[in-house]
Structure 1
Amino acid sequence: MQTSRQLETEDEEEAVIAPGDSLPTPSPRALRKPRDPGSPVYSVPPASYPKPWLGAQPAAIVTPGVNVTLSCRAPQPAWRFALFKSGRIIPVLYRGVSMELAEFFLEEVTPAQGGSYHCCYRRLGWGLGVWSHPSDTLELLVTDELPRPSLVALPGPVVAPGANVSLRCAGRLGGMSFALYRVGEAAPVQYRRSAQPWADFPLRGARAPGTYSCYYHTPSSPYVLSQRSEPLVVSADGSGSLDYTQGNLVRLGLAGLVLLSLGTLVFLDWRGRSRIPCSVRP
């Protein structure tokens, strides 16, 4: 007579599949096992089954046709790995390996293969249907071109005399490399990498006026670039020089009025002297 442990082992052996195969059809014995209709396909693991790590090579953002490897690394030796995609209940790929690392190969990826992925692992001796906690989600983006960024001036596109301005190029993805261009110059004015979905480019007020645009791209090969942002015009604030000119005009007007007054007094004095009779003059 077979024990429950022997039945469980046989079920596990019947479920073993070759690396790269999709989810197998459950064995008849497994289908006969009673299960709560409301329970999930995979049991919730205890906290002692720590989650693995999932990464992508050569990158998580690639152009169509590139071969991508998704690597799932467990914190302890595992017996089997499974790769899941958001929106699907069953794994898209399995790997049967007796080590901490499993690799899932996606050949010549298409935009349809992009999406949110996570992986799990299980060890021998774990109950049927029990997997580790899922890894953090990995976003795989397959595209020819990244979305167009926006470019804004902080605090505004009009720069007062002596003030500085910062131009913010904002995309939709973090960890990108950003470049700022000024019309009339072939090379980027500034270039920087940012962990945030944006990058700030500080400009000195005296050199800030001009027309700018920016773009961003993946930080490593194969590079995926965005479109250029819409142009942004940064101009100098003329109110300071206008105030200075008005002040000069006021001062010149006052000086002219003083000179006119002095000239009038001199003229009146001269005219008064010219009318005095000669006999009266000393």
Structure 2
Amino acid sequence: VPAQRGPLPKPSLQALPSSLVPLEKPVTLRCQGPPGVDLYRLEKLSSSRYQDQAVLFIPAMKRHLAGRYRCSYQNGSLWSPPSDQLELVATGVFAKPSLSAQPGPAVSSGGDVTLQCQTRYGFDQFALYKEGDPAPYKNPERWYRASFPIITVTAAHSGTYRCYSFSSGDPYLWSAPSDPLELMVTGRGGADQTFLPQEYGFISHLAFFLFPETSRSITASPKEPGSPAGPTRHYYTKGNLVRICLGAVILILLAGFLAEDWHSRRKRLRHRVRAVQRPLPPLPPTRKSHGDQDGGRPDVHSRGLCS
């Protein structure tokens, strides 16, 4: 076997079928390096537990097995760099939250929607998971709910979503998933549509009310033969200018009203009253495993990860 030149490539570590594991369900951790590896080492960080094997099969997920894992391998006298850390999460430890869509689960392409996860307990962390995506989206919020805004949705945002709640004090012990929410992106957005038909009608009626003669002159019948053309054209031009100016003024006023309303709504949301703090639900009793408070890589004896 030729000698290794340069640093060894780092291995990869993955959880199958997923790194989000319901309690009492099986999961397999697999470390993958280049061919011809002499020795694999798979370890649980912040503990003294590790095993010198590439594959760890967990037949039933337990709370004490949740946490951060990494692996490395040895070729000859050289150790590889460690893999990226894998966060193994136990789900179903707490009651499920609720997931809703505002303004609704059906949204036009190009529109906006907000997915809101809410729980009755005082959790300060939330995660949104889309079926088929490799990892959840996390969002800290300290008031029993978290909002996940999706701006300018596309067909790729369609799918099934679930959310979880958990505490930053136990970041790998999550609630059960919420009931699934199906987000449907319907049709095309209205980029080429006019969104102010009511305002336009309002402008027309207001112009007619303020300047009835000018408005009627626009629909006057054609001039009779021999009548002077100059004054009539001047009258039409003046009426059109008045309408254009009036419409521009009203549009500016409407834009100002809309901007003020949007600003006031944002201000109200920013200063909304928060709920009274509620306690976290108690954890089920468990036995404290030895070595959970130790840190660093073990250097003498191997201890089983599942024990």
**TM over 0.5, shorter chain:** no
Higher relative contact order (Cα pairs below 8 Å, separated by 6+ residues): 2
Q: TM-score, normalised by structure 1?
A: 0.43
Q: TM-score, normalised by structure 2?
A: 0.40
